[in-house]
Chains A and B, each alone.
Chain A
Amino acid sequence: GIQVEQSPPDLILQEGANSTLRCNFSDSVNNLQWFHQNPWGQLINLFYIPSGTKQNGRLSATTVATERYSLLYISSSQTTDSGVYFCAVRPDYKLSFGAGTTVTVRA
């Protein structure tokens, strides 16, 4: 099956810092989604981004499908950004998830 690798596995930020999370995948996909799992365990849809660039407030994402990677940018991080960020790709009907990046934002 398709391999999804996320880096870094862990990230500690000071409030206000910027960061970039990366997702590499091993095969072509029809869909790519970024999720934030908050401390309560909820999976929050951040972006649906099979290609191109999107922005939503302090977050933005870019997917270069031909090179099989996606980037998630967090700017001016806040403590509420803490949690696990998952990249998930959809080569067929199911989503295949990466292992996630655990982000801790310190005040």
Chain B
Amino acid sequence: DAGVIQSPRHEVTEMGQEVTLRCKPISGHNSLFWYRQTMMRGLELLIYFNNNVPIDDSGMPEDRFSAKMPNASFSTLKIQPSEPRDSAVYFCASSSQTGWSQPQHFGDGTRLSIL
């Protein structure tokens, strides 16, 4: 089975530009998570979807960040306008069922650099 698929793998763009990160979860998984990894803060949850509905977006840094999940097989994380401090690795993860005991499976991440 295919794992979690993220695109692009790398993104370099200039400050002020809109950035869109994409994620395809594992088929059949109904929970999707966006995480961000930085040197200063480590890995932290940005937003959690269950059955395509955002359940917890308290980790989204500010209004410049938005996430959508229009269907069970696709999610986007958008940053507009982007700033240099948004540079980080962004991971998408999915897990099956709504139970909290299931393992989360991570994509390969998107390495984002804002110049």
Q: Which residues of A approach B to under 8 Å, CB–CB?
A: 30-31, 33, 35, 41-43, 45, 48, 50, 86, 88, 90-95, 97, 99-100
Contacts and interface: CB of A to CB of B under 8 A. Distances in A.
A43 B100 contact: no
Chain B contact patch, size range: 20 to 34
Contacts of B102: 31
Interface of B is mostly: strand
A94 B44 CA distance: 9
A41 B109 contact: yes
B104 interface: yes
Contacts of A35: 106
Contact of B104 (A42, A91, A95): A95
Given A42-B108, A42-B109, A43-B109, A90 B101 contact: yes
Given A31-B101, A93-B100, A97-B43, 18 more contacts: A31-B100, A31-B103, A45-B105, A45-B106, A48-B103, A86-B43, A88-B104, A93-B48, A93-B50, A93-B55, A94-B33, A94-B48, A94-B56, A95-B33, A95-B43, A95-B104, A97-B42, A99-B42
Contact of A95 (B45, B50, B55, B109): B45
Interface string B31-65: 10101000000111100101000011000000000
B111 interface: yes
B106 to A, nearest CB: 4
Contacts of A88: 43, 104
A63 to B, nearest CB: 13
